[in-house]
Amino acid sequence: MVKKILILHTGGTISMSENAAGHVSPSATNPIANISEKPDQIEVTNLEVFNLPSPHINPSHMLKLYQLILDNSQHYDGIVITHGTDTLEETAYFLDTMAIPQLPIVLTGAMRSSNEFGSDGISNYQAALRVAADSRACDKGVLVVMNEEIHAAKYVTKTHTTNLSTFQSPLHGPLGLVSKNHILFFKQAEERVRFHLTEISGLVPIIKVYAGMEESLLDMLDKTRLSGLVIEAMGAGNIPPKACQALKELLDVGLPIVLVSRCFNGIAEPVYAYPGGGVQLQEMGILFVKELNAQKARLKLLIALNAGLKDQPLKSYIEG
């Protein structure tokens, strides 16, 4: 049975090329969109949505992809999104938090452009097509397929600036593997709370905590412009004590503040009961996010605020 797969192209290294000086930039034509070779029993439709380096992607672009998925889902058996790797995990997480239809949705990209030695774009693209055509991927949420591994959007992150195996899922590992002849799933993605949004707006910055941090940086923030704030704290969720008062002032004007750990592994939780420790921060009203990095926690808060969550429903969702 032939599977119909829609390819939404957004740009990124997978669609770029290298010049004689070794500089990588967008190509006039997308080399991935012109690939004729594809796995057997797969019919491909290409749609050029954007041609952007992934640092140019913002939540409005992510929302447009969500709308395109809704508009086209009834006509295809699966969807593949080609994307730059710098923000790929954020787009994947955003889409995975939307009310997506139950069909395979796979993001992929490349660490080396189309004409670089050892380019990985074609192999990643072919693997993504195979996963998107596999009916077992229907109930696993948004997936990221890179370097012959299948990752859940919630957990995957870019861990290396240039290595082909950059995408990893700390604590969890991949959901499955793509071998030469098989698609192997050995984990199930967890159930997600999902939202339907038609617009998204708001300003939610990320502040990384550092040794000796005082209130001065936080005092520079314009409270009237902020929708929320993400704090990337130390360890299990601790900050230098002088920064606490500035955070309390932000909380006092009703600003939601969520906290994640700056550590690569583990979760943020209120463990330490000293000034600036997680126990004090939780008592102040700061919300602890489990298992998300700062960039995904930002999207989680932004989506929740645009969905109208506040007070206890917001706390339950953010900390759930």
Q: Convert 186-198 to b/e letters by CB count within 10 Å (16 or more is b).
A: eeebeeeeeeebe
Establish whether 85 is an annotated binding residue.
yes
Is the Cβ–Cβ distance between 48 and 80 less than 8 Å?
no
Which residue in 10, 13, 91, 108 is the catalytic one?
13
Distance CA 107, CA 49 (A): 14
Quickly tell me which residue has 């009961």 as its tokens: 273
Establish whether 86 is an annotated binding residue.
yes
Establish whether 40 is an annotated binding residue.
no
Which residue in 10, 82, 85, 108 is the catalytic one?
85
162 a catalytic residue: no
Distance CA 286, CA 257 (A): 5
Which conformational region is residue 222 in: left (phi greater than 0), alpha (psi within -120 to 50 degrees), or beta? beta
91 a catalytic residue: no
Active-site positions read 13, 85
Q: Which residues are annotated as a binding site for substrate?
A: 54, 85-86
Q: Which residues are annotated as a binding site?
A: 54, 85-86
